[in-house]
Structure 1
């Protein structure tokens, strides 16, 4: 399949394929920001990512300024990937993109994901805490300090001016599209949802995380992990083990066993 937005990170022959995991990037994310998932997916799961304009090999293209324009473009390529069971996983801004892409899929009559895996993000109606001026307009020093505090950017990248000149425009564009985002009133999605956050993330509190559950009629599970907004970079075994179990359930059609209990499905177990 010729893809412009979706790019494969790990492919599986059709006869062996049980599931696809389509990942959506956080603000300013490098192309392989979900490389840690490669150890979670198993030999029968494909892993795909999204290349956004305005960065990487698409740096010469104008960055999109709307969440809705991005997901509409992604939806053009989704049918070929949605021919088989798939999961959408997004962290921070990526959670918003995953959610809205699932909504577009429903509006277009495409197959819906088996589940949405969403991490490090407040619910759509409170996704960003208002700032005056907004983060996308902060002077470079303040923005760099903010990114350093979030913990999601390699220190060496923030330390070198040339790298910053390449990196910050994409971050500002991503922040701007999140700041412009306005959720549209739609019925809840008939999908399962897994919600994850860091215990030290001061912005994504329990209330704003659990509010995602109102947007799904399927089972919802929540789990918190030690760390800040970018707990996904903590290299602890608990997160990969949890995600591995979620994907095992997705492959086996067992997402109905998920519960709203914060402990979620126990890693390494198979429901009866």
Structure 2
């Protein structure tokens, strides 16, 4: 049976997350509804990441097996004609049988955006976290280095989606203040081989504590070592988070 790999972008503001839920508007539900209208098939698509309500994506990857005779190009056009305006299929690729968007992923990159200004954001209010107090981006960047590598990230996992192992590898964390006219914007990029539930948002919430001068690098290292969710910072709100890329 043909298998397709869909790369999808969406504005998560008005979606109740990725995963299909009864009587809820979800990205998975929108994709499956569009697929059924095109092929008359009821399929269950799988995604690389089950993003939460309010979380966005530029590079979500979705896998679907189908008996359709339509080409990848035909499916691409048809899906974009039927999907709502806040979701778009960037590309459709035919892939070998057995491809699984979740289990075959070897790495992901997320970006978190913070509007760091006393004045609240307007046009990008649904895609940033507003932190009015001044943040020290350099201190955040330096402190984040203790999280790079292979560690037990139990302190950075919310309850509700327990995993067999809480060990993950982070290959890169970058914290930077965007130069130019948008210097009020901070971007935090986190790349790794996989992430626990709310892991990136808890990392961001912890780094903000450092940026505000309330905590330091030693605290972040101790929080990591504790393997206790109570020792890390708050969970940053969902709207600042975006899934940028998935590697296979």
**TM > 0.5 between the two?**
no
- TM bin, normalised by shorter chain, reads under 0.3
Larger Rg: 2
Bigger proportion of residues as helix = 1
Query: Could you tell me the TM-score, scaled by structure 1's length?
Result: 0.25
Bigger proportion of residues as strand = 2
